[in-house]
Amino acid sequence: MSIPQPVPFVPAQRAATEGPAPEFFAAATLHGQAVPERLWHVQDLIPAKTVTILTGDGGTGKSLAALQLATATALGRSWLGQATTSGPALFISAEDDRDELHRRVASLAHAEDFALADLDALTLCSLAGDDALLSVPEGAGKTMRETPLFQKVEAWVAEHRPALTVLDTLADLFGGDEINRGQARQFIGQLRGLALKHETSVLLLAHPSLSGMARGDGNSGSTAWNNSVRSRLYLRRQQAEDGAVVDPNARTLEVMKSNYGPIGASLALRYREGAFFCEGNGTALDALAATAKADRVFVKLLRECHANGRRVNHTGGNSYAPKVFAAHPEAEGVTKNAFRRAMETALASGSARIETEGPQSRRVSYLVPGAVS
């Protein structure tokens, strides 16, 4: 019995205008090869060679924090107490002019004890007052197209190979509709292509939407922004339970999303003499320990409430679980914001779930421990 021989695969001829052919490879070819190390620009905060979004309410200092990261990268120093990958850095601002960038970097030099002459590895670019769009919609389908400015930026990145590229801000650089999921994903895809092709870590700054500010998660526009990036950080003011600012110089930097590391970690920061500093001896490990504590206490109190017949919910009001737990005598010092993050973690992991009952016109939802049916 003859066995038919496989027909050799012959790729079709592609038009010159088409993109490169995708790379297909058998997983078995990876056998015996060393597993590539996961690379970080800032361990557990900013992964290397991809796009991270940093959101922050107006005036919180996200531009300053990002510029501080760029100077730390160029100087081979730590950033907010966290080790960074050293190398050239590019900071593009569509909001601040040359004079403002000068003032800010001079303040950083004074606060962190370095000379401006030491920053030969940091390149600044001000697009304030210019057309700063990197990508715009085109055609009936409104597909995002890279602008000539994007191509100029990419040419510079290709020549100088910065370890970090900061883009400030999304609202000035993105010419599409921020709530259009397709356009959001396309723009992040363009930036990810820049990051992968030229081995640079891209940090994109953005303002949160009003709903993102109200929820405390810092999301901007469509959820596609959050879903499309591998990491998202949120810089916010430290607030009391009633929303009042506790300390005008205090900030919290939170990990809201991380595909490659733990979420929920936060760093307590303080603005002092033109720069942010991590309070105490805070490190990513300390932040992770605090996050683990919040996760543990949340599940403990949820089980206690359930056992006692007290219902709490995930939506808000007097029975909002983070609010109830923060006021509980066994809260162990965990705050409402920390409980909110712990609630999201518990729902994602299955250690908490949402149950709904009642007629369709008056449905009531509440939280129960994941192990309880």
Task: Give the model confidence (pLDDT) of 127-184 as tens digits.
Answer: 999 999 999 999 877 899 999 999 999 999 999 999 999 999 999 999 999 989 999 9
- Residues 270 and 297 occupy one common structural domain: no
- Residues 173 and 146 occupy one common structural domain: yes
Q: Does a structural domain hold residue 32?
A: no
- Boundary-marking domain end, from 234, 256, 281: 281
Domain count along the chain: 2
pTM value is 0.72
Q: What is the pLDDT of residue 243?
A: 63
Q: What is the pLDDT of residue 15?
A: 46
Between 20 and 13, the higher pLDDT residue: 20
Between 233 and 361, the higher pLDDT residue: 233
Count other Cβ atoms within 10 Å, centred on residue 224. 19
Domain of 46, in residue numbers: 40-281
The stretch 292-314 carries a mean pLDDT of: 92
- Boundary-marking domain end, from 231, 258, 281: 281
- Residues 256 and 312 occupy one common structural domain: no
pLDDT band at 373 (very low <50, low <70, confident <90, very high): very low
Scanning the chain, the segments in alpha helix (DSSP H) are 62-75, 98-112, 148-160, 170-173, 181-198, 210-215, 223-228, 284-307, 321-326, 336-349
Q: What is the pLDDT of residue 1?
A: 44
Query: Would you say residue 93 has pLDDT above 70?
Result: yes
Spatial separation of the C-alpha atoms in residues 232 and 224, rounded to whole Å = 12
- Residues 302 and 247 occupy one common structural domain: no
Average model confidence (pLDDT) for the chain? 87
- Residues 44 and 61 occupy one common structural domain: yes
Cis check: omega of the bond before 169, within 30 degrees of 0: yes
CATH of the domain at 248: 3.40.50.300
8-state DSSP, 29: G
| Structure-block tokens of residue 141 | 């389908």
pLDDT band at 16 (very low <50, low <70, confident <90, very high): very low
Query: Would you say residue 13 has pLDDT above 80?
Result: no
Give the closest residue to 256 by CA, choosing from 265, 245, 243, 247: 265
Spatial separation of the C-alpha atoms in residues 333 and 327, rounded to whole Å = 9
DSSP for 137-154, written as a single string = EETTTTEEEE-HHHHHHH
Q: What is the pLDDT of residues 26-42, one digit of tens each?
A: 999 999 999 999 999 99
Q: Does a structural domain hold residue 218?
A: yes
- Residues 206 and 104 occupy one common structural domain: yes
